Chain A
């Protein structure tokens, strides 16, 4: 177990839903409801699922940008959920995040140099001229120029901003970076540039990635292993090759069938999922997927399938697997 850089055990995050004049808590959204997985050093774990299934929440809980409701996050052998503020601040040097929205994630009133360099000052790593040099270096690493440091975020395009976001995340030389859909908001033409940059950086700095995406095609290329989430739960986790070639969970199968295939001769039956994703406010009983699962049985409605390792390294939560 200890070969993981970071391990998540039975992680839960429930958000309160409020209403009425005095904003009483009326219900709970089970955004993440018992997720377990680990990521090895230098590895890229892809995390896939439809929008709203809890990927971002999972990522933020790992960084403690959100306080998990329950579970453990073990980083380098320590349960970081027990860390106090000071310990947490030090830990920030080890784990970073790249946000989905390159517009909202940069403070509009700060120069690029300050955005990237602020962390140096805070952690007492460098200041003044030294800091500027480090910032310039980073800008070059992500494919920008030193003179960009004096500009404000609004002067850049989306792709350039995402590069700024990446430079910022790299600044403290972290071990783990959580990439929360880093290319979803970008033009297709730019997406691969950023993906390539991320791959290059991984190699150069020996980074570990948790790479979040909402479809399987984006992570196929970059990931070593891939996890699939549905309604706050992991439903399948396996090495990339296994998952793409021999998926065990009906949901994974359905997602895979939706990937456009480059070769038009290869025909695939596209499995259409019926109905909408149920609300995490009021998830279905039993297997939460049963309302849309083409293979569901009566049993599925009542009994929740266990998270089982069906073959070594291949985890599935389905009665039929």
Chain B
């Protein structure tokens, strides 16, 4: 097993290098140039050359790549062309908010969607199940910015139950307002964004759980459990649900990168200081080093997530063994 883990980890290195080369190449070969955006519009070609020189954009692309790689290996992701700040600093300023939001979203999704999926499987074709199906359709069909704006309009503005946007009331913190008041304030701010995203993605997980559960409760081993005279609760929770959760649990591993992923629309609507807006701005401004860092972070997490999913399989399913 350790052997397997070691091998998998080593295999990741060439993969990530490949991804980074591809990433670097695509970005530098794509039309649009940061210098055209940074320089004066009437800058002369000579001036632009000078600026390129100062930003280190004059060398052949493979030299630029190697230089970048060298720095990255030392943990230095460079500085933004636009604001001159270290790339990592800009990312780390926003990452906690992205993690915080995504983590809550994921908890809500799983805490709500799993029981919902199970209930609608057990009560297949019931009113509840039909409602679920309709909600799933809605969640997929209605754009999240629209739901977001509607929620803001009603709960933020008309009813005045919740703050409109942001992560907290400015100046309100544990020191100024005490622990619980702070918790309530932060919770009030996070309810709407979590609801909107969770609503959109929850239905997916719930449907997945439902079909997984439907499949499982048709299995003979569930009948076996019933035939043993187990109470229905035990049959469902122990025999059916645990097996139905298998694919969901491993899905969690694959969703690791999502935890770090920005959400441009949600961040825009709810003025959430996440990684999404940073990344979209960097893309439009061709701020290569920020884009590279975010992309590489995403790629690493994706690779790690897949690996984690494979490991989780072993944990939850005795049939699978790696060597």
Contacts and interface: CB of A to CB of B under 8 A. Distances in A.
Chains A and B form a bound pair:
yes
Interface stretch (B27-35, B110-118, B216-224, B287-295): B216-224
Contact of B224 (A106, A122, A154, A172): A106
Given A23-B125, A152-B318, A152-B319, A107 B231 contact: no
Interface in A1-36: 18, 22-23
Given A108-B317, A108-B319, A154-B319, A99 B220 contact: yes
B contact patch SS: helix
Interface residues of B, number: 23
B31 to A, nearest CB: 46
Contact of B229 (A60, A90, A104, A165): A90
A105 B221 contact: yes
A96 B221 contact: no
A60 B222 CA distance: 13
Contact of A122 (B220, B230, B316, B318): B230
B186 interface: no
B229 A89 contact: yes
B223 A108 contact: no
Contacts of A115: 224
A22 B134 CA distance: 10
Interface string B306-318: 0000000000111
Nearest to B224: A105
Contacts of B232: 85
A137 interface: no
Contacts of B243: 107-109
B242 interface: yes
| Listed residue (A60, A63, A109, A168) with the most chain B CB atoms within 10 angstroms of its CB | A109
A89 B225 CA distance: 11
Interface of A: 18, 22-23, 60, 63, 65, 85, 88-93, 96-97, 99-101, 104-109, 115, 118-119, 122-123, 152, 154, 165, 168-169, 172
Given A99-B220, A123-B229, 6 more contacts: A63-B227, A99-B224, A104-B220, A115-B224, A119-B229, A154-B319
